[in-house]
Chains A and B, each alone.
Chain A
């Protein structure tokens, strides 16, 4: 580290000598409008080949200092960029870029190209798409349905997020399946940290934590309002330069930056409510079926006579939660320094009393030009978030809301008496109303993310310029989890009160130092060479205190009769070096090649470097003169290849001894996971090819991509013969392949003076196959073949779901019942604009096919509360509930269910008042929106999106999750 700082000082000294003086500048003024003459604000105006720039103001005007003959570049996302020679009072008309050909895409760690020269298909999401239709509660939820090529699945409806994002199929089985998130150059943490809920639920018997504890993932902390745009590098061909962290793809987030000019202030206020998306309803009871279940018929009769048959599902999940979100943002600056500042607070109640989510954030982004040749940019973000998540999902103690409800008939009394004493539930281990009212399960995070970008022009000549670009930052947070189940709860009869207090400290830090040389020997060809070094480090420390026999009314862990602590630490450092070369010929042919070398302390050999090469080419045929005069405005063919990796999990190489005490004697017991000293990273190679074209003057554009992604030496937590004393071991077990197609259509079907309709339609599908497997088939990610489970097996889809069958011809009696992978997905984003004032937007998402393991229904059937228990759809004279129970142990047919859906994810209607004739308020925007209001599905549980096991490989296992919710909101926004 010291050496790097020393080196930076040297570099600084070097370029100070190198600073060039410029010719006399003068002030250029002008105005930017669209083709109808409406002013466009926020257009970036830069002087070509310098770091100087400004943006247009509210009336489309700008002023900038430039040399007389300098070229000015005008660019704005959503519009084609233009170059004009500096002159007096220039008028610029920008044309809409429906196919987004001029969008700037970051392709290297510090370099970028225009989309029209891109060798990959890179999805981008603008702030408007992210947050401008019907804002979601958290960033991860806001991504849902918006990324072509992604399979995004919410774990459940608990406030505070918890969403799995898989780009282009399953890229790892037991390794990291989630993409790397990079915000303004800072590698941010997206962990899910357990609160130790397993102590109470016993979902994984005997452990303090499990992957069934339903934590949120930390990307949810980031506020969508601050985001300018998001780029998604879906596979190794695009992300290879991120090396061994990039196998699951990279999501690059750029936050809003300051713009030169008057300080603009925006105040926006959202008010809304949240309701449960769907309730399942409960079984209609009568004396016969009450008796049939072995329930107390006399109790039923008395309750029925008193009219006290309750709908506990509705009581528990039916709360209408109030939501509000306030954001104040400011941006402005001088020609040297610009800033963006925002302060925001969100407070949303959940659909279960006592649950909810709060997020408060503070952001300051400052960009400063020290000289014409040196820029620095600082981004800082403080976040406090707090989520009360209730207790839901699988358990083996009968204590989660869902499990307790599943066997509780509506005639039994669960409400507290006049003294506030809750009756014990005769039909389950817990009284869910009592649990809800007395428990606490809070995650609270204080997080600071800060990044620094240093960009210095080291050398400049007519043909070449060289920049030093250094970026780095930290992501630091403290996470506190606070779980309390007081001793008066029905199920705390043994533990007499449980308090679980968790403290986590996480520090991610990373830096990139690179040199970028642009060499342009003539107008026809340019070379961009970049090379540099990177380092990423993570230091994580988690302390979980489990106190039982807690003194009444207390939650501090010392106020307890028994206390057990567990601590878990990880520490990783990865180092990399990279070189990348991009050649652009005639602005039509782009050739890219690069390689990155990475090592990690998590590898069996921490000193060994692994190489990740990449190469890509794109040829723009229209720019080469082909198709000239045809209806193709633009036609590009492209192909790219790249490799990326996935490091083994921390500790994979050790066989540890766990602590296991008895009678006050400290004990060591061998861990059930056997170490693998030679563990190495997974390696992914991806080949992608496609064509992009636009027709009808760019009003219709299309992108078609095919990819073939091979994951070699995938990491598998192999199941060992347990007689070895070990049950699992990390191994590099085999290879798998993902192939897929992505088709995107961008169009502007209506482009009148008053009415415009912009639409994008995406279609994508993915198929996976395990192509090599060195070990016998492994089942994982669920509860075994009886109920349906994933099985990794050579020659089969990596996400197949197998289960018992009673059909003849299967020996052993196990067959493939389904696959987590959807057959295909489609989305469509539409915006209708009337007179630039009224805007109607919606996002539709169709997931066709794909199966879940639906144990929500099974639990309700077993508990006797399933709504359709007494139906006889198959006309065999037996209630369907009984039929389902009878199949357990002989076939998994009842549990594996199609989880396809068609969903209008977001609808928004906004109106802009901009000619207010007031000095103070420049414009007012009013809007209403609905989030996740409309879903069509045949799936018989709360929502087809569910994952009992969180964000790993095995999403779609549905065990009485926190029911999904829908939001409606009113939006008010004032520009000052």
Chain B
């Protein structure tokens, strides 16, 4: 009898515990992706737009360091991270690793934006709260940003290729070679332009997009990026057409353009490329060749200010700090008029309109007190000057290494230590192989 009672208890206990309070707490720390893809509201889509714009800044300073160090624009000295001056400069036997921060972090940060843009596209397509014109604006913006991010990745891995089709994480598209990648990026920009045409922008962008935050502005920005891609693809005539549709202006302010905005607001980011002058430990020094090669009167020397004392480490010495970003909230250009003018000059040379090129070069030169072009009016000589002006005008903006590479002049970059190497491309991250 008593035994039965205790058995009853056991059964009661078990039953009780099984039927007691069913629970699933859900995600307490943020929205889930599904919530955006299934019929997003306009507010949700706007959050995705801002998230996309914001995330473009993740590891941006590392990207600039990557291309700046290999392109011998700067030395990135870090007390805690030797690989900036070993691997990136190819010291002794060091090579670029396929599993080191300098490629994995930049690669993943750019693709994260691509993913966000893809979610934005899918969410906009599925949303029932939008007019067609509004929908097209979201999609056009997303595709433009996506193309721009893919272009940056392609800049890093170059001939090793990139993935273009990445919308399904479980079935990624193939690695496309450099030419195919650029073709795809150009195609994406064309699609975006079609979407933006006649669209109605109902989302806000940061002050970094001032002047480019409506359909017309975004279209101009899209065309400017497309012009850069066209130059990379050596489609000279096409470049000139694209520049015409962009915000290119020979007489305009050189700094007009779209920028990555930085701010101190909650959840915002600071410009990681800013380091105060005369620091030790964590610094960006200007490669000594910059000051050695610049015309004495050139005001662009202001981008390389003299330090109180030179800094040396491991066979590298410089007495100048990189001083392009002079505060923690200084914006970083996405693309600006000064580059467009130089793209124009290059395309004009390549299409054999040399006087137009000289005019463009002189716009840049006089703006920086470097004197008018006085060299030979031949395509090779003028191209040399385009490369030179790009070097000083776009210093520390992520161009030098890519420019020298497409001009096939990597071998001309200065070597500081006998066993250093100049790399032509980053390897694909280990996880992509």
Q: How far is the CA of A806 from the CA of B93 in the complex (A)?
A: 9
Question: What's the least CB distance linking A515 to chain B, in Å?
Answer: 5
B29 touches A661 (CB 8 A): no
Complex Cα spacing A672 to B116, Å: 11
Instruction: Give the docked Cα–Cα distance between A569 and B80 (Å).
Output: 32
Taking CB atoms, residues of chain A closer than 8 Å to B119 are 670
B297 within 8 A of A: no
Q: Indicate if the CB atoms of B13 and A662 lie closer than 8 Å.
A: no
Chain B positions within 8 Å of A727 at CB level: 108, 431
Kindly list the 8 A-B residue pairs having the minimum CB-CB distance in the complex, ordered from nearest.
Answer: A725-B115, A294-B312, A889-B94, A429-B281, A663-B206, A667-B50, A398-B281, A667-B51
The answer to whether B166 touches A723, judged by C-beta atoms less than 8 angstroms apart, is yes
A662 with B5: CB separation less than 8 A: no
In chain B, positions 8-43 with a C-beta closer than 8 Å to chain A are: 9-10, 12-14, 16-18, 20-25, 27-36
Q: Check: A4 CB closer than 8 A to any chain B CB.
A: yes
A661 and B83 within 8 A (CB) = no
Chain A: CB-nearest residue to B88: A889
Q: Which of A77-85, A247-255, A459-467, A922-930 contacts B (4 or more CB under 8 A)?
A: A459-467
Report yes or no: B32 in contact with A675, Cβ–Cβ below 8 A.
yes
**What separation, in Å, do the CA atoms of A513 and B33 have in the docked complex?**
40
Contact flags (1/0) for A563-580 with B, using CB distance below 8 Å? 111011111110111010
Tell me, in angstroms, the Cα distance from A295 to B80 when the chains sit together. 18
Smallest CB-CB separation from B261: which chain A residue?
A663
Give the interface residue-count category, chain B. 35 or more
* Residue B295, interface by CB 8 Å: no
CB contacts (< 8 Å) of A130 on chain B: these are none
CB distance from B419 to the nearest CB of A (A): 9
- A515-B6, A674-B169, A888-B86 are contacts. A662–B268 as well, Cβ < 8 Å? yes
A-B contacts, 19 listed (Cβ < 8 Å) = A1-B21, A398-B79, A398-B80, A459-B6, A494-B270, A531-B13, A534-B17, A658-B30, A660-B267, A661-B268, A665-B206, A723-B162, A724-B172, A725-B114, A725-B169, A806-B93, A885-B314, A888-B94, A889-B86
**Do A723 and B107 touch across chains, with their CB atoms under 8 A apart?**
yes
Q: Are A428 and B92 in contact (CB under 8 A)?
A: no
Q: Are A567 and B94 in contact (CB under 8 A)?
A: no
How many A-B Cβ pairs are below 8 Å?
A: 343
Within 8 A of A (CB), among B388-433: 429-432
Judge if B55 is at the interface, Cβ distance under 8 Å.
yes
Interface segment among B97-105, B193-201, B341-349: the answer is B97-105
Q: Which residues of A contact B (CB under 8 A)?
A: 1, 3-4, 7, 11, 14, 205-206, 293-296, 394-398, 403-404, 406-407, 424-430, 458-459, 461, 464, 466, 468, 491, 493-495, 513-515, 517, 531-535, 548-549, 561-565, 567-573, 575-577, 579, 601, 606-607, 651, 654-672, 674-675, 719-727, 779, 784-786, 804, 806, 858-859, 862-863, 885-890
Question: Which residues of A are found within 8 Å of B281, using beta-carbon distances?
Answer: 397-398, 404, 407, 425, 427-430, 491
Q: Is the CB of A722 within 8 A of B108?
A: yes
Contact between B10 and A428, CB atoms less than 8 A apart? no
Chain A CB within 8 A of B48 CB: yes
Q: Is B253 an interface residue (CB 8 A)?
A: no
Extra inter-chain contacts (15) besides given A205-B62, A862-B314, CB under 8 Å: A7-B12, A7-B13, A205-B105, A429-B280, A495-B328, A533-B14, A562-B266, A662-B54, A719-B431, A723-B163, A725-B112, A727-B431, A888-B87, A888-B94, A889-B97
Query: Complex Cα distance A515/B206, Å?
Result: 65
Are B280 and A428 interface neighbours, CB within 8 A? yes
List the one stretch of B218-226, B241-249, B271-279, B298-306 in contact with chain A. B271-279
With contacts A427-B281, A721-B172, A722-B429 taken as known, whether A459 is within 8 angstroms of B5 at the C-beta atoms is: yes
Asked whether A461 lies within 8 Å of B2 as measured between CB atoms, the reply is yes
A668 B91 Cβ-Cβ under 8 A: no
A466 to B328, CA, bound (A): 72
Q: Is B202 an interface residue (CB 8 A)?
A: no
CB contact between A294 and one of B263, B313, B431 (< 8 Å): that residue: B313
Confirm or deny: B52 has a beta carbon within 8 angstroms of a beta carbon on chain A.
Answer: yes
Chain A: CB-nearest residue to B168: A724
Query: Smallest distance from the beta carbon of A511 to chain B beta carbons, Å?
Result: 11
Per a CB cutoff under 8 Å, which of B6, B25, B54 touches A466?
B6
Separation in Å of the A342 CB from the closest CB of chain B? 36
Q: Is the CB of B59 closer than 8 A to any CB of chain A?
A: yes
Instruction: Determine if B293 is an interface residue (Cβ-Cβ < 8 Å).
Output: no
Report how far A723 CA is from B79 CA in the complex, Å: 31
Whether the pair A663, B431 counts as a contact (CB closer than 8 A) is: no
Q: Looking across the interface, which residue of chain B has its beta carbon closest to that of A886?
A: B92
Residue of B27, B162, B311, B431 most packed against chain A (CB within 10 A) = B431
- B127 surroundings in chain A (CB, below 8 A): none
Tell me, in angstroms, the Cα distance from A251 to B52 when the chains sit together: 47
Q: Are B99 and A398 in contact (CB under 8 A)?
A: no
Expressed in whole angstroms, the minimum distance between the Cβ of B202 and any Cβ of chain A is 13
The residues of B with any CB-CB pair to A shorter than 8 Å are 2-3, 5-6, 9-10, 12-14, 16-18, 20-25, 27-36, 44, 46-55, 57-59, 62, 78-83, 86-87, 91-95, 97, 99-101, 104-105, 107-108, 111-116, 118-119, 162-163, 166, 169, 172, 204-208, 261, 263-270, 274-276, 278-283, 309, 311-317, 328, 429-432
> In whole Å, how far is A780's beta carbon from the nearest beta carbon of chain B?
11
Which residue of chain A has its CB nearest to the CB of B53? A662
Contacts of A3 in B (CB 8 A): 16, 20
Question: A656 to B51, Cβ gap below 8 A?
Answer: no
Residue from B18, B23, B29, B94 whose CB has the most chain A CB atoms within 10 Å: B29
Q: Which B residues are in CB contact (< 8 Å) with A859?
A: 80
Do A571 and B104 touch (CB < 8 A)?
no
Contact, CB under 8 Å: A889 / B87: yes
Residue of B nearest to A567 (CB): B29
Q: When chains A and B are docked, how far (Å) is the Cα of A157 from the Cα of B431?
A: 36
**Which residue from A295, A575, A720 sits with its C-beta under 8 Å from B20?**
A575
What is the distance, in angstroms, from A838's C-beta to the closest C-beta of chain B? 52
Contacts of A495 in B (CB 8 A): 270, 328
Contact A562 B264 (CB under 8 A): yes
- B112 with A663: CB separation less than 8 A: no
Residues of B within 8 A of A294 (CB): 311-317
Give the nearest-CB partner of A862 in chain B: B82
Tell me the bound Cα distance from A858 to B14 in angstroms.
58
Q: Establish whether residues B6 and A722, one from each chain, have CB atoms under 8 Å apart when the complex forms.
A: no
- By the criterion CB–CB under 8 Å, are B313 and A293 in contact? yes
Closest A-chain residue to B114, C-beta based? A725
Residues on the A chain within 8 Å of B58, using CB: 206, 660
Contact A403–B105 (Cβ < 8 Å):
no
Q: A406–B46 Cα gap in the complex (Å)? A: 47
- Closest partner residue, chain B, to A804 (CB atom): B97
Most A C-beta atoms less than 10 A away, residue of B80, B111, B112: B80
- Tell me whether B51 and A669 are in contact (CB under 8 A): yes
Minimum CB–CB distance from A766 to chain B (whole Å) comes to 28
Contacts of B283 in A (CB 8 A): 429
Query: A494 to B29, Cβ gap below 8 A?
Result: no
The CB with the most chain A CB atoms within 10 A, among B47, B49, B118, is that of B47
CB of B149 to closest CB in A, whole Å = 11
Beta-carbon contact of B265 and A466 below 8 Å: no
Does the CB pair A535–B17 fall under 8 Å? yes
A672 to B109, CA, bound (A): 9
Residues of A contacting B47 with CB < 8 Å?
Answer: 657, 666-668
Give the docked Cα–Cα distance between A494 and B32 (Å). 34
**A494 and B59 contact, CB distance less than 8 A:** no
Complex: how many Å from CA A397 to CA B32? 33
Could you tell me the distance between the alpha carbons of A491 and B280 in the complex, rounded to whole angstroms? 9
Alpha-carbon distance between A724 and B280 when the two chains are bound, in angstroms: 38
Q: Kindly list chain A residues whose C-beta atoms are within 8 Å of the C-beta of B280.
A: 398, 424-429
Contact B79 A403 (CB under 8 A): yes
Check if B23 sits within 8 Å of A11, measured CB to CB: no
Q: Which of B10, B22, B25, B115 contacts A571 (CB 8 A)?
A: B25
Kindly provide the distance from the CB of B124 to the nearest chain A CB, expressed in whole angstroms: 14
By a CB distance below 8 angstroms, the chain B residues around A458 are: 6
| Bound: A565/B266 CA distance, A | 7
> Which residue of the partner chain B has the closest CB to A659?
B267
Q: Which of A576, A723, A862 contacts B172 (CB 8 A)?
A: A723
